[in-house]
Amino acid sequence: MSPSNFDLFSDQAMAESVPSSAAALPQLRAQNLRDLLHHHAHAYYTLDAPELPDAEYDRLFRELQALEDLHPELLTPDSPTQRTGGAVLAAFQQVTHRVPMLSIRTETDNEASGAEAFDTRIRKELGLVPTEPPVVYVAELKFDGLAMSLRYEAGLLVQAATRGDGETGEEVTANIRTIQQIPLRLPADAPAVLEVRGEVYMRRDDFEALNERQRQRIASGTKGEKTFVNPRNAAAGAVRQLDSGIAAERPLSFFAYGLGDMTPSNEGGPTWTTHYAMLMQLKAWGFPVAQQTSRVHGASGLVAFHQRIAVERDALPYDIDGVVYKVDDLALQTRLGFVTREPRWAVAHKYPAQEEMTTVLAIDVQVGRTGKLTPVAKLKPVFVGGVTVTNATLHNELEARRKDVRVGDTVIVRRAGDVIPEVVSVVLERRPPDAQQFTMPAHCPVCASLAEREEGDADHRCTGGLFCSAQRKQAIWHFAHRRAMDVDGLGDKLVDQLVDAGHVKTLADLYHLKLETLSGMDRMADKSAVNLLEALEKSKTTTLGRFLFSLGIRHVGEATAKELARHFGQLDAVMAASEDALLQVADVGPVVAHSIRSFFDQVHHREVVQALRDAGVSWAEGEALAPTEMPLAGITVVLTGTLQSMSRDEAKEKLEALGAKVAGSVSKKTHYVVAGAEAGSKLDKAQALGVPLLGDEGLLLLLAGQKP
């Protein structure tokens, strides 16, 4: 939960309304916390309008957990703590739907005429003549997920069930509770019994992140792991996990679009008369309803909606395979009735398929900005999801081998939205006898540097970072970063221009740029060009730590670069150090040591370093200072909040110069936390762990070599 419009309105009053009685009346405090957490979870997950910082939400959540642990009798089915999962079932129980979950008819005509045909049928069934007003419809998205029925009794979620065969489904309540968008309880004005029908789905970005985690697990040797074919399969697999703890790790979402069983109006149930009014009421009760849902009039309204969503489809953060039209008036729905267990008053209008079959013509390897090598299947052109696809990612060698994609294979290709097309699977029965298996090349196809895959990593990477033209822009941008060489004014857009125009091919070329070259760049006036040249000249005088960091050695961050500079004192000593010698440096483990050694083993990297020295880049060098000789050696400090005496960057540099390690998070190994104004969650954690706290005065004493 990111902070936005941070205003606790009545939260502070609610949270402090019973300060003295909280201990005496834990039941009241628990209810108070549940109310707060429900409110803020709904604001974040459903309304996308967070009102509370993450740290504060987490603090309230932990307080409720602790209270429920201390008083188990206070635990309720609607408690936010019950979303984390953990129950393991032997099998799913069967659920008979009180109101069947029926499917709706699919209109196979993908054109505007499909919408017009539906309106024609409806008008004919209702006996309407051309001169009568147009029928009012509700137009919705057809989500590519898993249909779900949520049953609420007395306002509490008591059961969640899959569609199954429409009559009988499987109870998956424990797993559905983990979905943050689904209310665990309803407002007081909700009917005594309410079954909400909707779709469980997975966003595309969540799906890609999930598959990336799966690839890393496969690469690390974890048994039984696999990547998922598409978001729908991933969502369905998560819903049907017997272990709800696993389901809780899968990022699922939900949209509501209909009703099942419900308290009738003559027994106190709702009295709405239109489908749209029902959806708006569900939204008011806390259920997500797709914002694209619209009330439209007649065939022209249906056609316009179908065409608008077709344009917006690729930009949606989730998959749809069409739209749905429903007659809005509930009385007319009843009058139209059903045919062969399908409602006459609704239809699904699909878009072109997003999966098609084609042939793999070749498998090439692309080099990304960070050196990642990605195998890409070159395809016989195929029309998928509204565009012609000629390339599809295979992600990495492990994934290509797992799917066993070979040159000559017939494959199923999927394209969803702006996600890069990918090969879903191979049609093995169509494999030719001469199909060629893919093997990742030993060297980068762009610069011929060695290609390596680290243990536990799914991806191969080019080791020619400073030399490889595919990584050139990334290397230059990193080199100029504020915490590296600090070249003010050299932004990513200017880097793009300089590289694309051929003015900068290596890092040293930056120091040979001329005023007339820079002035000719887009949005670069003479004054800006002069300022950049001055910034480049200023950057020539730096520190060894900054210079090492600027080289972009994999796994070598700012802190590690400074440790290397302290330990060895001279660049040549770092470049010549063996892996065993590198392992003697604080914070350098086997992976980092191997990465440093591999970097300087590349001849072209040493040539780039020499070219930078020849261009005038320099730093003070000296004998290595043993860590034990430094006054703050072995001390770990965390900085948080706004300091009065100096900026946090200044404090960090001064502390590190004295041998201290400045960490980004608080742990039991932290010696001091320096807390300035508006300190956040790090201060809370320090207090919880009993870590000594320092203010500005304590920091100054520490820098002076005195015990605070």
- Residues with active-site annotation: 142
Token readout for 48 is 């996308």
Q: Which residues contact 654 (CB under 8 A, 6 or more apart)?
A: 646, 703
Instruction: Please name which of 481, 465, 487 lies closest in space to residue 606, comparing C-alpha atoms.
Output: 465
Contact by Cβ (8 Å): 145, 238: no
Record the tokens describing residue 656, joined without a space. Answer: 């590190």
Amino acid at 604: H
What residue type is 105 in one-letter code?
R
- To the nearest 10 degrees (0 to 180), the angle between helices 603-614 and 590-601 is 70
Q: Which residues pair with 362 in a beta bridge?
A: 378
Selection from 301, 298, 350, 345 nearest residue 326 by Cα: 345
- Amino acid sitting at position 121: R
- What are the Cα distances from residue 231, in Å, to 204, 424, 605? 7, 12, 42
- Bridge partners (DSSP) of residue 253 are 201
Which residues, in sequence order, are bridge partners of residue 258?
197
Tell me which amino acid residue 24 is: A
Cα distance from N-terminal residue to C-terminal residue, the chain:
36
Using the CB atoms, write b or e for 403-422: b if 16+ within 10 Å: bebbbebbbbbbbbeebebb
Please report which residue ranges of 139-243 form alpha helices under DSSP H. 173-176, 204-219, 231-239
Q: From CA 240, how far away is CA 176, in angstroms rounded?
A: 10
393 sits in which H/E element: strand 387-393
Dihedral over Cα of 484, 487, 489, 493: its sign:
negative
Q: Judge whether 560 and 587 are in contact, CB under 8 Å.
A: yes
Tokens representing 676 are: 């300035």
Nearest to 554 by CA among 368, 370, 366: 370
